[in-house]
Structure 1
């Protein structure tokens, strides 16, 4: 007879995400995961595979939760530029203060730590960035069509600039104790939308 799982795989995956997010991939040993999740090593391997597979699942969970929030923000009917500004300002606020400042963005952290030498991670990071860029691009196209954005502005280039800015805000925010640094950068970038 098959044994039933003595833990909630969804809760365990969330706990793994939190640990990876706080420590990074390399600084998180399998023994750390076993201790943090309160799951035996064999059960952890049987459910999630090795550490790398668990990390990829945690990255997928993060992307699956954060993508829809931004999609909802940027897809609301009505004026589009206020939504774009709100998203960028939220990134700046999170990057400039509190626990979220120290954690950064899990995708950004992953890109910096593993992206250059891990193809599976790099694909997921690229998909996440493409999704954000597409959402921003769509909102900026709508803004231009509604007369909020000048007709000579390139929505694709602006979307790419904002994506790079938002990722950079998270990196700088982790190391800077001056919230004005990220806030001012965000406001200067947003001025390009006027």
Structure 2
């Protein structure tokens, strides 16, 4: 007869996500996970696989939590440009916040730490970026169709510029002690939408 799990896998995955987000992949050992999750090494392996597989599952969980918020923000009926501006400003505010400086964004952290040498992590980062770019692009296409965005602006190119800006804001926000740096950059980028 199979043993029943004596822990909640969903809660354990959330706890692992928080630890990876705070410490990074390389700085988090299996021993750290055992201690933080309060479950045995064998249970971690049996439920989630190895550390790398657990990290990728945590990264998926992170994206699942953020993506619906972005979809909701960028797909509201009515004018689209105010929603795009609000998303850019929210990213900048998050990056400049004490929490943002402490943890940053797990996707951006993964891009910097793992993506250059980890194809599985790179695929997840790229998928997250493609999703964000698609949401921005859709909102910008609506904005152009509604006359909010100049007809000479390429919604795809603007979406890509905003994606790169948002990722840069997250990196600089995490590393800089000057919150005005990210806020000013975001505001200057938004002038390109006028």
Q: Calculate the TM-score normalised by the size of structure 2.
A: 0.99
1:2-61: per-residue Cα shift (whole Å, max 9, x none)?
A: 111000000000000000000000000000000000001111110000000000000010
Partner of 1:167: 167
Structure 1 residue 133: deviation in Å?
A: 0.2
Matches within 5 A, 1:1-194: 1-194=1-194
CA shift for structure 1 position 102:
1.8
2:126 & 2:21 partners in 1: Cα distance? 18
Matched-pair contact (CA < 8 Å) for 1:95–1:170: yes
Structure 1 stretches (4+) deviating beyond 2 angstroms?
none
Q: 2-side partners of 1:188 and 1:154: how far apart? A: 18
Number of residue pairs matched by the alignment: 194
Aligned partners of 2:163 and 2:82: how far apart in 1? 16
Distance 2:75 2:85 in 1: 13
8 A Cα contact 2:100 2:173, kept in partner: no
Between the aligned partners of 1:99 and 1:134, the Cα distance in structure 2 is 27
Decide whether the 8 Å contact of 1:173 with 1:182 is kept in 2.
yes
- 1:172–1:182 Cα contact (<8 Å) kept: yes
Conserved? CA contact 2:59–2:107, under 8 Å: yes
Structure 1: state its 5+ residue gaps: none
Given that residues 102 and 173 in structure 1 are in contact (C-alpha distance below 8 angstroms), is that contact kept between their aligned partners in structure 2? no
How far is the alpha carbon of 1:155 from its aligned partner?
0.5
